[in-house]
Chains A and B, each alone.
Chain A
């Protein structure tokens, strides 16, 4: 995705009111370093709060136990650098699942989430977690998996990203799509240079 498209997406995001941008699971938090890379000014969003953080200790890492709340908690632990061993186990398991079950991922996720839009949001959130983990421990295997996930058109349709960002109906998914594209492009550019 070109620099100009990322800039266009960010301009559209900036036109939304603050309240609509603070959607569930905070797709626009912790992206300042990536925005900076593309010379984009961060938005002034309300202070990040982490009251939804669940305990990840009792759950066995794996796709069958994953949910948006768990992914949110795992991301929170990455940002706060806590429980990193447990986070790594989750990341490894989820990456392996996505790689091994790549061909049947859509079917399996829809079965788990019941609707295709919920399935898309879960995989986008999962991709976002894997990207955070990739950056956190400098392991590019996670980036590799996310790039493959982004090739699936039911997860990311780049041609429709701008229109999805303008539409408030499924803004959460569109914001996650933007977040992941921004992170992957930034990391790929950094590696290439």
Chain B
């Protein structure tokens, strides 16, 4: 039985809930869940500077709407995954109530308390479901490392809005998900598994993102299982094969949306 610590961006994250529960059901021992406090002025200021209006949309979807954000669709969403897998938890704290898994709240995942928790629990691996950049001190106390699921195909598309960038550059064969170990850089760590995704059935980029979420949950869990069974090895990235992308400007995003519509209609 492998010991795992989960890093979560918020107590209400459906992605964290699904990944944690699926790992638990697959025999992983969840030693602790470390959650970033939701209402932290510094975090809000940093994110509003970075994301602008998009942060408001993100808060509305992830905190207020939650499952209601997913209307009927012809593809599986995270809401469907929870139904299929019979996951009824609504917040991360439910794991503490039901399975006595310690939940630690922190302002920042690099806090000294988080490092203490890692040192005490000595995990075999840390599974990252969001919460910001990690410093060396956290990375080196995380057993084999910190596993992240990136919504883009590495090493080609590092950074932000990579689904949009791949569509914009018409690299439809480079749309997918990568499970990789985190390091000091942005999405530059060793790759464990890549899964490419067909954009058909999705009317727009929002639908595509919704389609990604359950796939990311499953891929993260499967990658963990395969990694410890020795079926998957760490593959070093050749950074020259890709570029780091930044948040896409709305005018370019509109062009990407149009390109996607054209491809889906074909």
Indicate whether A47 reaches chain B with its CB closer than 8 angstroms: no
Given contacts A140-B169, A192-B258, 11 further A-B contacts (CB under 8 A): A99-B247, A102-B49, A102-B50, A103-B49, A140-B168, A140-B252, A144-B246, A144-B248, A145-B246, A147-B251, A188-B255
Interface residues of A (CB under 8 A from B): 95-96, 99, 102-103, 139-141, 143-145, 147-148, 151, 188, 191-192
Looking at the assembled complex, report how far the CB atom of B199 sits from the nearest CB atom of chain A, in whole angstroms. 19
9 A-B residue pairs with Cβ-Cβ distance under 8 Å, sorted by A, are A95-B246, A99-B247, A102-B49, A140-B169, A140-B252, A141-B246, A144-B249, A147-B252, A188-B255
Inter-chain contact B246/A191, CB cutoff 8 Å:
no
Give Cα A102 to B258, complex, Å.
27
B255 and A192 contacting across the interface, CB-CB below 8 Å: yes
- Can you name the residue of chain A whose Cβ is closest to the Cβ of B168? A140
Closest to B249 in A: A147
Residues on the B chain within 8 Å of A188, using CB: 251, 255
Q: Indicate whether B75 reaches chain A with its CB closer than 8 angstroms.
A: no
Bound Cα distance A95, B243 (Å): 12
Contact B49 A144 (CB under 8 A): no
CB-defined contacts of B255 to chain A, threshold 8 Å: 188, 191-192
Q: Tell whether, in the assembled complex, residue B49 and residue A143 are in contact, meaning their CB atoms are under 8 Å apart.
A: no
B contact residues around A144 at 8 Å (CB): 246, 248-249, 252
Mask, B159-173, CB within 8 Å of A = 1, is 000000000110000
Scoring B residues 38 to 53 as 1 if CB is less than 8 Å from chain A, else 0, what string do you get? 0000000000011000
Do B252 and A143 touch across chains, with their CB atoms under 8 A apart? yes
Specify which chain A residues have a CB less than 8 angstroms from the CB of B246 in the assembled complex. 95, 99, 141, 144-145
Q: Inside 8 A of A103's CB, which chain B residues have their CB?
A: 49-50
- Contact residues of B between 167 and 204, Cβ < 8 Å to A: 168-169
A102 to B255, CA, bound (A): 23
Q: B125: shortest Cβ distance to chain A, in Å?
A: 29
Q: List, in ascending order, chain A residues with CB within 8 A of B244's CB.
A: 96
On whether the beta carbons of B245 and A141 are closer than 8 Å, the reply is yes
Q: Which residues of A contact B168 (CB under 8 A)?
A: 140
What's the nearest-Cβ distance from chain A to residue B166, in Å? 12
Q: Which residue of B lies closest to A100 (CB)?
A: B246
Please give the distance in Å from B100's CB to the nearest CB on chain A: 41
B243 CB contact (under 8 Å) in A102, A141, A147, A192: A141
